Amino acid sequence: MSHVLSENVVPRDAFQGAKGVVFLQAAYAAAGVTAFRGQGFIVAAVNRQWSAPSFLSLSSLGVGLSLGGEMVDTIAILYRDEDVDKYKKGDFRITSYRSGSPVCTLSAMGCADMQPAVYVAKSGKLLDYSINGGTITHAKAANAKAYGGLVSPDDILSGRVDPPASLDPVYKQLTALSGPLA
């Protein structure tokens, strides 16, 4: 993810006013039937710092004229409290129409009224014209492992849980790019 979280891909001013940041890494495979599977996390701006991450899982299936595969790293910057609140409430469905690239799916992440700024780095070869449906879910097992028990996405993203030390490098990079949070 660090290559996407660089000034060469994500401009520094993209973080101004950010309420949350979603990091996703996924693999996409297609041969008529499409499958998209990945993982990641979201952090929220809380009390002038970034919250602990709530770990996520992404899965999608579809059908269409598709052949090939790609690895996709995505950062979506959320600018509205309502968008972060959707992640706090739990899992949700995604629907997409792909035309050549998985960017279409991730830019419409969550529901039609979310408008994050989306930055993508991808590798592989993919021809894709398909219709897909899937879900983004909170990875309960990963969250329980990271925080020593079951915790809700709301507790994590509201700043009631401390971030794991293993993510310090990501926090340093994110803080360097975002500057002080308002």
Is-contact 20 83, C-beta < 8 A? yes
Note the pLDDT tens digit of each residue in 67-125: 888 888 888 889 999 989 988 987 666 666 555 554 433 333 333 334 677 777 778 88
What torsion, rounded to 10 degrees, do the Cα atoms 27, 111, 14, 101 define? 40
Note the pTM of the prediction, 2 decimals.
0.82
> 22 and 76 in contact (C-beta within 8 Å)?
yes
Cβ contacts of residue 69 below 8 Å, gap of 6+? 27, 28, 29, 30, 124, 125, 126
The neighbour count for residue 26, using CB atoms within 10 Å, is 22
